[in-house]
Amino acid sequence: MKVADNVHLIAPSWSYVYLIVGEKLAFIDTGLPQYFEDVRKYVEDLGHRLQDISFIINTHVHEDHVGCNKALKDICKAKLAIHELDAKYIENPVDFLKDTFRHMPPSEDYVREAKSWKDNVDIFLKDGDIIELGGVTLEVVHTYLVIRKVPFAYMMKKERFFFLEMLYKVLQLMWRSLAQ
């Protein structure tokens, strides 16, 4: 669903993927593997192909944000970008499991899933970095989750639209207030 100029929300479930359309295309997060076909279909319905995607930008390393990174990157040949503080978790998901599950071991399924995230990060983002998509400018805004000190917000400078891990209705309210 189009939520702003150049911004599409692909939300087959609670796992959101954003498609940013400029001269170049970018995914903000990639969602869970079981929704891969929904993402592919949405992109194709807009008249694009997965191979047209130039960037995959992760807001942070949680399964519902990075679960399709490898599958999409293999098809797109897109550059994978994530904040430098989270990059180690994509390149070595075992570190994520150690840091996240210090007090309680994760399930075997979760360990298997996390290990599938392993990929090489192409762009290590930091606060204030700019990603130009041709007509759309993304700026990295480094904020923290309450539970873990990890980055999770990006801002489209031109559109003044934030990508935060929150419910869609909150995003809608934010967009309305920022657009006024």
Superfamily of domain 2-179: Ribonuclease Z/Hydroxyacylglutathione hydrolase-like (3.60.15.10)
pTM for the model: 0.77
What pLDDT does residue 143 have?
67
What pLDDT does residue 170 have?
43
List the Cα angle 12/22/157 in 5-degree steps. Answer: 90
Give all strands (DSSP E) within the chain, no chain letters: 2-4, 7-10, 17-21, 25-28, 53-58, 79-83, 123-125, 130-132, 137-141, 153-156, 161-163
Rounded Cα distance between 100 and 2, Å, is 34
For residue 50, the Cα-to-chain-centroid distance in whole angstroms is 15
Q: Give domain limits for the chain.
A: 2-179
Rounded Cα distance between 59 and 140, Å, is 9
Q: Give the residues of the chain that fall short of pLDDT 70.
A: 12-14, 143-180
Closest CA to 79 of 60, 59, 57, 62: 57
What pLDDT does residue 173 have?
46
Residue 102: CA count within 13 A, CB half-sphere: 3
